[in-house]
Amino acid sequence: MQTYTTGEALVRALIDRGIDTIFGIPGAHMYEFNDALARASNRIRFIHTRHEQGAGYMAYGYAKSTGRPAAFTVVPGPGVLNAGAALCTAYAGNAPVLCITGNIFADLIGQGRGQLHELPDQLATLRSFTRGAWRIDHPAQVPARVEDAFRALLAPRPGPVALEAPWDVFGQSAAFDMPAPAAPPALPAPDPATLEQAAALAAQAKRPLIMVGGGAQDAGPEVLALARRLDAPITAHRSGKGAVAEDDPHFLDAVAAWEYWQECDLLIGIGSRLELQFMRWSWQPEGLKTIRIDTDPTEFVRLPADAGLYADAAAGAAALMPLVPQAARGADLAGFRARARAAIETVQPQMAWLDAIRAVLPRDGIYVDEISQMGFTARFGLPVYTPRGYISSAYQENLGFGFMTALGVKVAHPDRAVVQVSGDGGFMFGVQEMATAVQHGIGVVTIVFDNASYGNVRRDQVERYGGRLLGAELQNPDFVALAQSFGMAAERVERPEALGPVLSAMLASGAPGLIVVPLARGQEASPWPFVMPRRPG
C-alpha cells in the first residue's frame, strides 16, 4: 500500500485512466488537488482558462472530437454553475466529460451557514445535468468513486459526470491500494430474433433510408456496408455528420434526403434519436416502418420502433447486413444530390463563405460550428468527410459554445486543422479565451461573421413581430484590434474569394488566428426552409 492525499490519489487515478490534459482554474477549495497536478506536470498537462465555462467547453471539445474521457476542474458553487452550460452540452452530446470540484468543509455541508462558495445541495444540482455525481469523504474512497465515475463516462451511452471532495478532505492522507482500472462492461450480442425481424422489414422495403447519429461515429464502415447491401442512402444531421464521408455515392445531405423522404417506407436509425425525421421534418410518409439500433434501451420507449435492436452501432449494422438480400433499387441518388446542391447554393451569402472554407480545410480538418446563420447553414451545406470532423452542441444548441469548444478540439488534435465559425453574438460569450489560446499556443483559426446582431432573433422580430426589436442589435468592439491586443494574428476579409489565402496562411502558421467578416444586418438568406422544411403541397 502507498500513502496518498485525496488530491494525489485523484491525479494518479486520472493518469491511470489515460487522462493527459485537464482544463481549469485553480482556487482555494482545490489547492491540494491543484498542487498534486503541479507535481505531476510531466504526466498530465494543465491548461488554465479565463472563465470556468471555458474549462468545461474545452473538455467537451476534447471529449467530443476523440470519443475519449476528458476532465476539467473548477471551484465549487459559482465555479460549478459557470461551467454548468458546458456540462449540459456534454449531456446533450453524449460526451464523456469529468468535472472535478470541491465543497465547503465536511462538517459544514448542509448546515446553510453561508460558507465560501456554498450551494444548498451541490451534488443534487450536478446530478440534474450529468449522468451522476459523487462525493469523496475520505482518501481511501477515491478508487471506488473514480470507478463509479468512469463506469458512467464509458457507459454504452456516455455522458458527463462529476466528483467533489470537501475542502479539508483534499489534503487528508491515508494508506491504500490503487487498483488497476476495470474494463467497461461489454454490450450483449445483438438479439437474433430482433435481427430476423429487422431483416424481414428491410427485405420488404422499396425505399429505405439510413439515418446516422452521434452514436454511429465509430461505425462508418459497417453502416456503409449495410447501405451498399440494401442499395439505400445514408443521411445525417449535426452529431452524425462525418460518420460516413459525405462525398460517398450512398450519402445524401439533409436537403436531398428530405426529397427522398417523401416516398420513404423504411427508416433505419443507427445511433440516432431521429430528431431530423420526427422533429425537424415532423411529417412521416404513410405506412413508414422503423428499425432502430441503439445502445440506450430507453430510446425504444421514447420512440418505439417496429424493430428495436439493443446493440452497438457497428455490431448491430454488421450483424444485420448479411441477413438482408442484396438489392439494386436504381434510385437516382446523384439526381437528388444535384437538385439539393442547386437549392442549397441559394442560401447566400452563407454558402459562398462555407464553400470557400471547405476549399481550404483539409479533408481531415475539423469544423466547429456555432449557433449562428453560418452554423445553421453548415448543417446541410458543409460536406464533412471524416468521423468527428464536425463538432456541434447537439440538441442543447448553446449560444457561445463554439470558440471555447474548438480550443479543446485543437488540444486533442494538435496536428489537424481546426476551423471554428462564430457569429459576433456567440463569440463574445468566450472572447476572453483568446488569452488562453495565445498563452498555450492553441492554433485554432476562428472566423467571426459580424452582423452586429443576434441574427436569428432579429429576423424573427422583423418578420413575425412587426419589426419591434428588443435586444437583437449589438454594439461590438473592433474584433481585429481586440485579437491583436491579446497577441493573436487577426485580419478583416470582406469577400469570399479573398478568404482562401488568408485562411490558408493562418492554418499553415500553426498559431491561433482570427478572421473577421463584416456583414450588413439582415443580409443573410434564411436557412430555416432547409433546416425545418414543409412538405410540398
Give one DSSP letter per residue of 98-125, joined into a string: EEEEEES-GGGTTS----TT--TTHHHH
Exposed/middle/buried for residue 121 (C-beta within 10 Å: 0-12, 13-18, 19+)? exposed
pLDDT of residue 207: 97
pLDDT of residue 478: 98
**Average pLDDT score, the chain:** 97
CB 99 within 8 Å of CB 130: yes
Going by C-alpha positions, the residue among 472, 453, 474, 449 that lies closest to residue 461 is 472
If pLDDT is split at 50, 70 and 90, which confidence band does 537 have?
low
Distances (CA, A) of 414 to 93, 232, 360, 408, 490: 22, 36, 18, 10, 20
**Helix, strand, or coil here: 396?**
helix
**Angle at the Cα of 528 from the Cα atoms of 523 and 530, rounded to 5 degrees:** 115
Going by C-alpha positions, the residue among 55, 53, 131, 64 that lies closest to residue 95 is 64
On the question of pLDDT at 536 being above 80, the answer is no
If pLDDT is split at 50, 70 and 90, which confidence band does 186 have?
confident
Per-residue pLDDT reduced to its tens digit, 376-425: 999 999 999 999 999 999 999 999 999 999 999 999 999 999 999 999 99
Could you tell me where the DSSP H helices lie in 205-277?
220-230, 254-261, 275
If pLDDT is split at 50, 70 and 90, which confidence band does 1 have?
confident
Structure letter (DSSP) for residue 139: G
Q: Who's near 232: CB < 8 A, 6+ residues apart? A: 205, 208, 209, 210, 226, 250, 268, 327, 329
If pLDDT is split at 50, 70 and 90, which confidence band does 488 have?
very high
Per-residue pLDDT reduced to its tens digit, 440-452: 999 999 999 999 9
What pTM did the predictor assign? 0.98
C-alpha cell at 27: 482556487
C-alpha cell at 385: 468527410
Mean pLDDT, residues 476-489: 98
CB 380 within 8 Å of CB 276: no
**Helix, strand, or coil here: 537?**
coil
Query: What is the rounded CA–CA span in Å between residue 266 and residue 292?
Result: 11
- Pairing of the two strands 161-166 and 208-212: unpaired
If pLDDT is split at 50, 70 and 90, which confidence band does 465 have?
very high
C-alpha cell at 187: 454490450
452 sits in the region (left: phi over 0; alpha: psi -120 to 50; else beta) called: left
Mean pLDDT, residues 529-536: 89
Per-residue pLDDT reduced to its tens digit, 97-155: 999 999 999 999 999 999 999 999 999 999 999 999 999 999 999 999 999 999 999 99
CB 342 within 8 Å of CB 245: no
CB 418 within 8 Å of CB 506: no
Question: Residue type at 359?
Answer: A
On the question of pLDDT at 19 being above 80, the answer is yes
pLDDT of residue 414: 98
Per-residue pLDDT reduced to its tens digit, 245-261: 999 999 999 999 999 99
Identify the residue whose cell numbers are 444531421.
237
Core vs surface per residue 142-169: b (16+ CB within 10 A) or e = bbebbbbbbebbbbbbbbbbbbbbbbbb
pLDDT of residue 184: 86
C-alpha cell at 149: 465515475
C-alpha cell at 342: 442547386
Query: What is the rounded CA–CA span in Å between residue 351 and residue 379?
Result: 11
pLDDT of residue 519: 97
C-alpha cell at 81: 454553475
Cα torsion angle, 80, 85, 88, 94, sign: negative
CB 460 within 8 Å of CB 436: no
On the question of pLDDT at 532 being above 80, the answer is yes
Going by C-alpha positions, the residue among 358, 403, 398 that lies closest to residue 378 is 358
Provide φ and ψ at 521, rounded to 5°: -60, 135
Query: What is the rounded CA–CA span in Å between residue 194 and residue 309?
Result: 6
Provide φ and ψ at 308, rounded to 5°: -110, 110
Share of the chain above pLDDT 70, in %: 100
